Structure 1
Amino acid sequence: MRFGYDDACLDHDPGPRHPESPDRLRAIRQELSKRHGVEYVSARDAKREEVERAHESGYVDRLVEFCESGGGSWDPDTTAVEETWPAALASAGQSMWAARRAVAGDSGRETPFAIGRPPGHHAVADNAMGFCFLNNVAVAAEHALATTETERVAILDWDVHHGNGTQDIFYDRGDVFYASVHEDGLYPGTGDIDETGEGDGEGTTLNVPFDAGAGDAEYVAAFDELVIPAFEAFDPDLVLVSAGFDAHRHDPISRMHVSTDGYGVLTERMQTVSDAVNAGLGFVLEGGYSLDTLSEGVGMVHEVFDGMTPVTPEEDVSEDAREVIDDVLDARQGIGSK
C-alpha cells in the first residue's frame, strides 16, 4: 500500500496520559517497517476553503484562535496545543490525497491509506469532540465530489465508536452513504438503527450497533448481509473506510472481540465491494489505542493488498447480533414508507 503520512501529525500532543498519542503513528511506522512493499507519500495540507466544505467557517475561526492562543481542553476528552491546527490540516490533507488517488484508480499494492492524526469522525460541522477537530473523511469526500468526476461516495466506518460527526455532516445528503458498525452504548451514544437519514438523504445512513462482545463472525455477517448489499445498491464512485482499530479484542477502551485476522477479512470485503461497483477505494485512520493491536491492524490491511488471502471465520453469529442484523433489515425495508 501507499501510506499518506506527515511528521506534522506528531506535533499534536494532548499530553502523556491521553490515549490519542503521537506514539500511535510511531507504532504504526515501526510495524510497517517490517512489511514488504510499503511506500510513504507526503501530500499537501488541506486549505482552509477545503476544510470549510465540511465545517462552518465560524467554527474554524474559533479553532484556529484556540490553537494559536496555546490550546487547552476544548472539552473533557479533546485537548489541543498550538501545533494542533497545523497537524489537523496535515491529517485532512492526507485524507484528501487518499480520496484523489483512489478516484484516479490506484488499487492493489498502490491502494492509498492516510495515517494522519488527530482523527476525525467525531468532529461535527461546528464543533470538535471525541479527540477529533477536523472530520478527515468528510473533508476527503467533499474534496472528491467538488474536484473530480465523483458523484457518489460511500463511507464505511468500522471504528468501535459511532462516527457521529460524519453521519451528521451527510445526514440529509443523497450523494454520500454512511455506514457504521460499532459497539452500542459507547461514546458518543449515537448510531441507533432508526437513524437512517432524512430529506434527500433518507436511506443513505446505515447503523449496526452491536452489543459488547461481537467479534469476527458478527462483523463479517454485518458486512455481507447489510453493508455490501447497501453499497452495491447505492453504486458509489468512491468508497472510503474510516479505519479505526479499537474494536480489537485487546483494545483497552472497548469490549468488542475483533481479531487482527478479522480486520483482514473486513479489508477483503471492502476490496470486493469496491471492485464490484467499479469504485475507487481509500482508507483513513481513525481510532485504536493499544499500540500493538493498532499497528498490527494497519499492517494486516497492508498485507491483504500485498496479496494475502484472509481466512473467513467459521464461528456462528451470536443470537444477540443476529437480532440486531434482522432489526436493521426490517428498518431498511420500511424506508420510504414513513
Structure 2
Amino acid sequence: MRFGYRDRCLDHDTGSRHPETADRLRAIRRGLKRRHGVEYDDGSFADRAALEAVHDPDYVADVEEFCADGGGTWDADTVAVEATWDAARASAGLACWAAEEALDGSDGRQTPFSIGRPPGHHAETDEAMGFCFFNNAAIAANQALERDGVDRVAIFDWDVHHGNGTQDICYDDPNVFYASFHERGLFPGTGDILETGGPNARKTVLNAPLPGGCGDVEYTTAVDDLLAPALDRFDPDLFLISAGFDAHQHDPISRMRVSTEGYGVLTDRVRSIAEDSDAALAFILEGGYGLDALSDSVGMVHETFDGRQPVEPEGEILSKAKRVLADVRDAHDL
C-alpha cells in the first residue's frame, strides 16, 4: 500500500494522559517497517477553501485563532496546541491525497491509506469534538466530487464510535452515502437506525448500532447483508473507509471483539465491494487506542493488499446483533 504520512501530524500534542497521541502514528510506522512493499507520500496541507467547503468559515477561523493563541481545552476531550492548526490541515490534506490517488488509478498493492492525525469523523460543520477538528473524510469526499466523472462518493466508517460529524455534514447530500457500524451506547450516542438521510437524500445514511461484544462474525455479516447491497444500489465512484481500529478486542475503550484477522476480512470485503462497483478505494485513519492492536491491524490491512488471504470467521452471529441487522434491513428495504 501507499501510506500518506507527514511528520507535522506528530506536533499535535494532546498530553501524556490523552488516548489520542502521536504515539499512535509512531506505533503504526514501527509496525510497517517489518512489512514488505510499504511506500510513503507526504501529501499537502488542506487549504482554507477545502476546509470552508465543508465547515462554517467562522468555525475555521475560530480554530485557527484558538491555535494561534496557544490552544488549550476546546472541550473535555478535545485539546489543541499552537501546532494543531498545521497538524489538522495536514491530516485533512492527507485524506484528500488518498482520495485523489485512488481516483487517479492507484489500486491493488498501491491502494492509498492516509495515516494522519488528529482524526476527523466527530468534527461537525461548526464544532470540534471527540478529538477531531476538521472532518477529513468529508473534506476528501467533497473535493473528489469536484472532479469530472465523480458523481457519488460512499464512506464506510468502521470505527467503534459513530461518526456524528460525517453524518451531520453529509446527511442531506444525495451524492454521498455514509454507513457506520458502531457500538450502541458509546460516545457520542448518535447513529440511530432510523437516521437514514435528509429529505433530499433518503436512504443515503445507514447506521448499524451493534451491541457490545460483537466481533468478526457480526461485522462480516453486517457488511455482507447490509453494506454490500446498499452500495450496489448507490453505485459509488469513490469508496472511502473511515478506518478506526478501536473495535479491536484489545482496544482499551470499547467492548467489541474484532480481531486483527477480522480487519483483514473486512479489508477483503470492502475491496470486493469497490471492485464490484468499479469504484476507487482509499482508507483514512480514524481511531484506535491500543498501540499494538492499532499497529497490527493497519499492518493487516496492508498485508491483505500485499496478497495475504485472511481467514474467514466461524461461529454464529449473536442473537441481539441479528435483531439489529434485521431492523436496518427493514429501514433500508434491503
- Shorter-chain TM-score bucket reads over 0.9
Counterpart Cα distance in 2 of 1:333 and 1:228: 13
Distance 1:228 1:254 in 2: 25
* 1:116 alignment counterpart: 116
3-state SS, counterpart of residue 177 of structure 1: strand
Q: Residue 71 of structure 1 contacts residue 82 of structure 1 at CA under 8 Å; is this kept in 2?
A: yes
Q: Which amino acid aligns with 1:315?
A: G
Distance 1:161 1:255 in 2: 11
Aligned partners of 1:237 and 1:279 also within 8 Å: yes
The aligned counterpart of 1:101 is 101
Shift of 1:149: 2.5
For normalisation by structure 1, the TM-score amounts to 0.98
Partners of 2:54 and 2:99 in 1: CA distance? 15
3-state SS of 1:239 partner: strand
- Superimposed CA distance per residue, residues 254-313 of structure 1 (whole angstroms, 9 cap, x where no aligned partner): 000000000000000000000001000000000000000001110000000001111110
In 2, are the aligned partners of 1:170 and 1:201 still within 8 Å (CA)? no
Aligned mates of 2:102, 2:268 — CA distance in 1: 16
Residue aligning to 1:330: 330
Give, in whole Å, the separation in 1 of the partners of 2:268 and 2:57: 38
CA distance in 2 between counterparts of 1:121 and 1:141 reads 12
- The answer on whether the counterparts of 1:267 and 1:304 sit within 8 Å (CA) in structure 2 is yes
Shift, 1:148, TM fit:
4.3
- For residues 103 and 143 of structure 1, the distance between their equivalents in structure 2, rounded to whole angstroms, comes to 11
Relative to structure 1, the CA distance from residue 148 to residue 14 in structure 2 (aligned partners, 3 Å threshold; closer, same or farther) is: farther
Q: How does 1:176-215 map to 2 (within 5 A)?
A: 176-215=176-215
- Relative to structure 1, is the Cα distance of residues 148 and 17 closer, same or farther in structure 2, using a 3 angstrom cutoff? farther
- In the other structure, the counterpart of 2:30 is 30
| Residue of structure 2 equivalent to 1:84 | 84
Q: How many residue pairs were aligned?
A: 334
Counterpart CA distance in 2 for 1:328 and 1:43 is 37
Distance 2:28 2:62 in 1: 32
Once the 2 structures are TM-superposed, how far is the Cα of residue 17 of structure 1 from its aligned partner? Answer: 0.2
The residue aligned with 2:141 is 141
Q: Distance in 2 between matches of 1:269 and 1:52?
A: 34
Number of the residue aligned with 1:8: 8
Q: 1:54 maps to what in 2?
A: 54
Counterpart of 1:142, as a letter, is N
Q: Please say if 1:150 is aligned against 2:150.
A: yes
**Aligned AA for 1:306?**
D
Give unmatched runs, 5+ long, in structure 2. Answer: none
Q: 1:102, 1:281 within 8 Å by CA — same for their partners in 2?
A: yes
Task: State the 4+ residue runs in structure 1 displaced beyond 3 angstroms.
Answer: none
Contact in 2 for aligned 1:173/1:199 (Cα 8 Å)? no
**What letter is aligned with 1:167?**
Q
Q: Which amino acid aligns with 1:51?
A: L
How far 1:314 moved relative to its partner? 1.2
Q: How does 1:158-173 map to 2 (within 5 A)?
A: 158-173=158-173
Measured after TM superposition, the shift of residue 147 of structure 1 is 3.3
**Identical residues among aligned pairs (%):** 60
Q: More deviation in 98-107 or 239-248?
A: 98-107
Give the counterpart letter for 1:323 in structure 2.
R
Aligned-partner Cα distance in 2 for 1:198–1:96 = 25
Q: The residue matched to 1:297 in structure 2 has which SS?
A: helix
Residue type of the alignment partner of 1:177 = F
Q: How does 1:166-315 map to 2 (within 5 A)?
A: 166-315=166-315
Q: Specify every segment of 5 or more residues in structure 1 that has no aligned partner in the other structure, as ranges.
A: none
TM-score normalized with structure 2 length: 0.99
- Could you tell me how far apart the structure 2 residues matched to 1:14 and 1:301 are? 27
| Distance (Å, rounded) in 2 between the aligned partners of 1:301 and 1:67 | 34
* Residue 131 (structure 1) shift: 0.1
SS at match of 2:206: strand
Distance in 2 (CA, whole Å) between partners of 1:27 and 1:332 is: 39
Letter of the 1:93 counterpart: G
The DSSP-based 3-state class of the residue aligned with 2:240 is strand
